[in-house]
Amino acid sequence: MRLRTAGSGRRRRAAAAAVVAAALLGGTSGCGTESDTADAAKLTPAQAVSRAAETTTGLTSLRYRVTGTVPEHGRIRAEASMGVDPTVMRMKITGLGDAADKPVEIRFVDGALYTQADTKVLGDTSGRHWAKAAPAVWGSGPADNRSYGVLPRQLEGSPLVQSTILAGARKVRKAGTETVDGTRTTHYAGEVTSKGLRKAQTAARDRKTRELRMNGLDQFLGLSLRSGSELAMDLWVDGDGRAKRFRLRGDTRGLDAKGRDVDTGPLDLTFTFLEADASVGVEPPAADDTVDIGELVDRAREG
């Protein structure tokens, strides 16, 4: 698995992260009021999707589920909770490498990423159960994110922001009404390109909308789609005007061992929002149960 860092000043942590990756990989409730439903019925599909983008990104926390296919990994399933300020995340994901048959827990808190791992592979003889990589970033755009190759690239972004991507589609259509996880929703669909997202950002009439669409473009780029290809996106919106579920489908690209740009396969992920604005607390694992891989690499170099 490739390692991604931001800048030459991160080389030591990048080397450490490669060790971690090797060790590891060897409902939002409520249906809305009748007034809400009536107001939503008056909106065009594009207006409804734009309203959902503004409403959903105003959430302070989220519990969600992810299922589908990720390039270079295959089928995955994850349950996660995240908080916005400060940014914290806890995820249990099934489908990673040699651990594909059991969930692996990942935590992000205080600028560090913690991963359940077999630390014996790192040379640990104390039987510790967690590996720590820092400094790390989660939930931002592709230029900032550093999950050190532990998470699939498409899961490094915030689903709150990823859910807004359809607002940049040239055309949005209503695909019907459906019940999602017990909640009545309206289903919208469209195709999105980076060119279209940039045009939508330029055409935004106010600063808030421009920032929203800029963040959506950042998250779109983080999906690693094949150059010039479209992202097919479906969005299910509940009676309160919030995203309840979204699905992303497209063809991706990456670099092979020789640094050449190659197709890496299809992306097909569905995110379902389970609970919003609930308290989310994420604690780092106990220090005496954690291997800091940066310190491990430093000691190896000194020795």
What does the pLDDT look like over 248-258, one tens digit per residue? Answer: 999 998 777 77
pLDDT for 35:
47
List of the chain residues with pLDDT < 50: 1-10, 27-35
pLDDT for 7:
41
Q: Which residue bears the tokens 């990994």?
A: 73
pLDDT for 182:
96
Identity of the amino acid at 220: F
Model confidence, pTM: 0.84
Topology classification of domain 8-26+29-302: outer membrane lipoprotein receptor (LolB), chain A (2.50.20)
Q: What is the rounded distance in angstroms from the CA atom of residue 18 to the CA atom of residue 53?
A: 36
pLDDT for 123:
82
pLDDT for 4:
35
What pLDDT digit, counting tens, does each position of 89-116 carry? 999 999 876 666 789 999 999 999 999 9
Long-range contacts, stretch 252-260, CB < 8 angstroms, 24+ apart? 252/71, 252/223, 252/224, 252/225, 252/226, 253/224, 253/225, 253/226, 253/227, 254/2, 254/71, 254/72, 254/224, 255/2
The crossing angle, in degrees rounded to 10, of helices 293-302 and 11-25 is: 110
Q: Where are the domains of the chain?
A: 8-26+29-302
Tell me how far the alpha carbon of residue 44 is from its chain's centroid.
28
Residue 298 phi/psi, 5-degree rounding, is -60, -45
CA angle 90, 158, 36 (to 5 degrees): 110
